[in-house]
Chains A and B, each alone.
Chain A
Amino acid sequence: MSLLNRSLRIFMSIFLAGSTALAQIPPELRDVVLSGNMNGRGSLNFRNNAGNIVSEVPKDSEGSIVEVKQLKKTRSWGIKIRVTKVGDSKSRNKAKVGDEVWVYFAQKDPWLALKDKDGAEVQDPEAALVARAKRDGSGIPAEGAVATPHLPTPEEIKAEAARVAQPGTDPNEAMYKDPKQIQGTTCITCEASPAPRGTSKENLKDIGDIKTEVQRNLAESTKNTAAGIWANHPEVLRYSESTDVKKMITYADRNKRSRSTGYCYRYVKRAMIAGEIVKKYPPGAYARNGLRDLKAQGMINMLEDPRYKDLIKSPADVPKGAIIVYHNGDKAAAGDTQIKSDWASKGKYYSDFASSNSYLLSPKARQAARNKKPYRMIGVMIKETP
């Protein structure tokens, strides 16, 4: 009986481990399709002065993936492809079918689409590339490449977020750093604390619990103070302080450009996907339509909600993590969208680049206002969580 029981347990554990592993397998990369002319290089070095360009791989060329490596410094990718179809080009140095060359792939600005074995476009290229790179990791890695790259797992991100949320220092220690503070000022009730009872282990546990509670209250009160007008709206606080919003802002900060590329809405959409604020990539190419598309994914427009609309007069009033949509009513104007990274006037506004000023203070919005077509906020989108 015990043998049967034991075998059953072993079988169940193997089954569970296997099913978990299977659930996390990213799609297998098979082919690439180029959406622009790219340099085909003989080695994994994409520097301007590398001198290893062997051919030009024109737009619409296709190839099968031979090997994938992640670059150490930029964290972008080198993909070795075997060319299977060559696009139209007048270049003399055009690649030929069967050539094996390295091409560059950056998540920020991909010039190629990755396809899986069924010919479908890979939705999360980074995960698929990591998986492929891990598989290709055996052997001697090329110079400047990481054979088995490590990207943070969701668990690691969560652990990091938890560490950031907790204040790093003991509040009592912090107090002693301020020479103006004396211990007496922290006494609120001034009641004598009861004499310690129980064993030393129990006392230590109690002290630990108190410390945790103090830290939690401190963090909570700091958050509430910073939230200003939103401190009395727990549903907004829950959204703004959620891990999802934190992930979204972290992604937006990591992927920002130094200046605008004209893709503000695209970058905001990607950040929302990264933070799991929305489950599907919002359709549409115009920021002004973001209102409709984000509503379709369960977000609410605070400007249309009687609970909040009177509280928001300017971008400074917008809660942390909200997506702001701007438009001036002109059908020819695409509008603009930004993610607010902090409460009140703190923090930045993220789209394809970061700015300490909202879009309404941009030169374009100011000129539109002078031309009697002022931009205004048409949407302040958040996701209400129960």
Chain B
Amino acid sequence: MQRREMWLAYLMLAPTFAIILLIVAGPLLANFWISVKPVQLADLRPPTVLVNERLRGKPETAGDSATLEYRLRNSSRDEEIRDVVLKDEIPDGFSAVSMPEYCSIDGRALTCAIGTVEAGWRDRLRLEGTVSESFLTADRPERESEPVVSGDANNVLTSLEFTFENFQRLFSADEFWSVLRVTFYYTIFGTGGALVLGLFAAQLMNTAFTGRGFVRGLFLFPYVSPVIAVAFTWVVLFDPFSGSFNTLLTRMGVVSDPINFFGQRAIEFSVFGLPLEFPLALSTVIAFEAWRYFPLSFLFILARMQSINTDMYEAAEMDGATPLQQFWYLSLPQLMGILSVLFLLRFIWTFNKFDDIFLLTGGNAGTRTLTVDVYEQGFALSNLGAGAAVAVVVFVVLVTFATLFIRFSPKEEGL
């Protein structure tokens, strides 16, 4: 019975396991593989021999000679292709007289074993022959069958060619360290902002009033709406030329020139002669992050608040504790558990976030985080290997965090 139960359990879990191994664990490992390979985006199309068939000569009557010509080309400029074989059907009514010695005809089936061709190879393969009446009456008979070429080529993805160039280039670029710094600013302030806003909102909603259900639903809007919708709305709202927000600021005389919230790297100012920079675009992106994810912390904190026993507050009230003292000495310690769990989770998810920054700024104006850099290297610069190298860095940093968190986090509650 026990054994049967065990096998039943494994059977029921098998599909889940399979899909997670295939789509999550597999790619995680594959990343390490790709990161040590010189793979470009274009390499994903394996090298093949391209072929183009045409008829030369103008046969007019039966018995005239004609040439069937195959133009062949290696699509890759730096990979050879081995065991190249061309197969085709000779058009009806064409009888070959001479052909290259590596070709043979069996009935109408033509087979040419071309062998190994080097990178950038081009050639013409000619079949001389005569035509019969049936060939002449048919409309373009050579088009009836498509020639097929097969061959083996090294696939960069599966070859055993390794390089550490991706990592070398990554770590030696100045840009990488600024990307790392931006990532941490974004993660820490984005997480902190969402948490503080969530705590504030939860305080507001922890009292009963008419329309509370409605306001709570409204507060969750930023979180449940699709990221593309809210990100583009922010972009339109804060546009420096036609955005409502900038027009409002300039028309009402708050600022003299429109502010390019998502496009300006930094605002310079000085305090007591000390020149300082305020990272504008990064701050706007962080504000978006806090705006979009405060509903989540709000929900969790509110749920926790409503489960706190009210006797404690009554006792504190009797002892003359002021509202701020009650919040500081009673509510906050009770909320510490959920706050730290939320901080850990949101910290990791913010660190993983790609969509938001990519849609808002595309990683420009000093907002490029590690995740955006993966896209930038792998797809915008078409260097898959370099992108995978950044992805490996992301993963390693993440594992470090996760280990630290698991070691030092308080016992989680309800999560």
Judge: A and B partners, yes or no. Answer: no
B interface residues, Cβ below 8 angstroms from A: none
